[in-house]
Structure 1
Amino acid sequence: MDKLLSGRQVLVVEDEMLVLIMIEDMLADLGCELVVAAATVKQALAAIDAQVFDVAMLDMNLNGDNTYSVADALAARGVPFVFSTGYSGHEMRDGYRDRPLLKKPFMEKELAEIFAPLLSG
């Protein structure tokens, strides 16, 4: 699984810079070709309109804004994605309860394990 993301393009929607840097390093270790980062819903939607992604990772809360509109845009394009959160008492909106959820903090192994089934289909 060490090159799970070989040649893949990943959108990471995350507003915490240190967490983003950690995620980018993990994705690079997994062979990711390109990581596009967005810190706001507006940036994420613009990135989705500008290019095609193989998979995405969405922080559920961006400085008080939820990322469901980003999830909707990705789902409309058939892009698989996972949510991530640092909160233990998260409330998942109907229609997204079946989406994978990665609890922060996480290790590279957990990131790979959550992306593997999304990319095998």
Structure 2
Amino acid sequence: MVDSVAGLDGLRVLVVEDEMLVSMLVEDMLTEFGCAIVGPAPDLDQALALANDAELDAAILDVNVGGRQIFPVADLLKARGIPYAFASGYGEAGLIEAHRGAPVLQKPFRQGDLERVLKELAAKRG
């Protein structure tokens, strides 16, 4: 049985992650929160297409996707006014200057960490 989390139910979240097991884990967590998953996008090209065209409320972005940095996707989301968070094993140290200050989920992260960041993103949308 899925118990949605207040404030997250129906939130459309773009997931960009190239590691299939990590992606599946994040999808499971989002489903438990009641979120609608967009993607997941396993590569930069697919992520760019979804970031440009999909109806989104928020995004969780792996910083390094298939050896390419995710920042063009973050730039597009920022231009559209869609809040995003990065998922990275390097923490904020893995971010470029233009995206410092964005929420960062330090990999590996727990379900409670993802919930906290998503609530922060949900509060920013609009």
Of 6, 10, 24, the match for 1:21 = 24
Structure number with the higher helix fraction is 2
Could you give the per-residue CA deviations for residues 17-53 of structure 1, whole angstroms, max 9, x where no partner exists? 0000000000001111233210111100111222110
Contact 2:13 2:35 in 1 (8 A): yes
Give 1:35's aligned residue: 38
Distance across 2 between alignment mates of 1:11 and 1:113: 17
- Compute the TM-score of the two structures, normalised by the length of structure 1: 0.91
Q: Is the 8 A contact 2:44 2:70 kept in 1?
A: yes
Aligned residue pairs, count: 121
- The unaligned stretches of length 5 or more in structure 1 are none
Post-superposition Cα deviations, 1:98-120, rounded to whole Å, max 9, x if no partner, equal 10110111111110111112212
1:109 aligns with 2:116: no
Give the TM-score normalised by structure 2. Answer: 0.88
Cα RMSD, aligned residues only = 1.7
What does the per-residue CA deviation read over 1:54-111, in whole Å, with 9 as the maximum and x for residues that have no partner? 0000000112210000000000000000001123683321121110110111111110
Given that 1:5 and 1:33 are in contact with CA atoms closer than 8 Å, whether structure 2 keeps it comes out as no
8 Å Cα contact 1:60-1:84 kept in structure 2: yes
SS of the counterpart of 2:97? coil
Percent of aligned pairs with the same amino acid? 40
Matched with 2:123 is: 120
| 2:102 paired residue number | 99
Equivalent in the alignment of 1:74: 77
The one-letter amino acid of 1:30's match is F
Unaligned runs of 5+ in 2: none
- Aligned equivalents of 1:72, 1:30: Cα separation in 2: 26
